[in-house]
Amino acid sequence: MDVLLQYVFTFQFAFFVLCLVILKSSIKFVPQNRAWVIERFGKYQSTKEAGLNFILPFVDQVAADRSLKEQAYDIPSQAAITKDNISLTVDGVLYFRVLDPYKATYGVEDYIFAVTQLAQTTMRSELGKIELDKTFEDRDALNAKIVQSINEASETWGVAVMRYEIKDITPPASIMDAMEAQMRAERERRAKILESEGERQAAINIAEGEKQSRVLAAEAEKTEQVLAAQGEAEAIRAVANAQADALRVVGETAATDDGQKAVQLDLATKAIEAKQAIAKDSSVVLLPDSGTDPASIVAQATSIINTLNGGKA
**Domain encompassing residue 112:** 71-171
Cβ proximity of 91 and 167 under 8 Å: yes
Strand residue runs (E) in 68-186? 71-81, 87-98, 159-170
Rounded Cα distance between 216 and 222, Å, is: 10
Q: What is the DSSP letter of 128?
A: T
Convert the pLDDT of each residue in 137-162 to its tens digit: 778 888 888 888 888 888 888 899 89
Return the pLDDT at 285: 47
Residue 103 has pLDDT above 70, yes or no: yes
Q: Is residue 185 part of a domain?
A: no
Last residue of a domain, one of 254, 270, 287: 254
Domain assignment present for 272: yes
Residue ending a domain, choose from 231, 254, 277: 254
> Are both 82 and 152 inside the same structural domain?
yes
Task: Give pLDDT tens digits for 257-272.
Answer: 666 676 667 767 776 7
> 210 and 120, same structural domain?
no
Check whether residue 271 and residue 292 sit in a common domain. Answer: yes
pLDDT in tens, 160-217: 989 888 888 888 777 777 777 778 888 888 888 888 888 888 888 888 888 888 888 8
Are residues 167 and 82 located together in one domain of the fold?
yes
**Average pLDDT of 55-72?**
86
- Eight-state DSSP code of residue 31: P
- What is the bridge-based pairing of β-strands 87-98 and 51-54? unpaired
Quote the number of domains for the chain. Answer: 4
pLDDT, tens digit (0-9, with 9 covering 90-100), for 107-139: 888 888 989 888 888 888 888 888 887 887 778
Cβ-contact 94, 161 below 8 angstroms = yes
Residue among 127, 140, 118, 137 at smallest CA distance from 73: 118
Say what the alpha-carbon torsion angle 149, 154, 159, 164 is, to the nearest 10 degrees.
-30
Is 292 contained in some domain?
Answer: yes
Does 250 share its domain with 261?
A: no
Q: Are 86 and 128 within one domain?
A: yes
Asked if residue 177 belongs to a domain, the reply is: no
* Band (311; pLDDT cuts 50, 70, 90): very low
Q: Residue 102: inside a domain, yes or no?
A: yes
pTM over 0.85: no
Give the 3-state secondary structure of residue 242.
helix
Across residues 24-51, what is the average pLDDT? 85
Q: What is the CATH number of the domain that holds 141?
A: 3.30.479.30
178 domain residue, yes or no: no
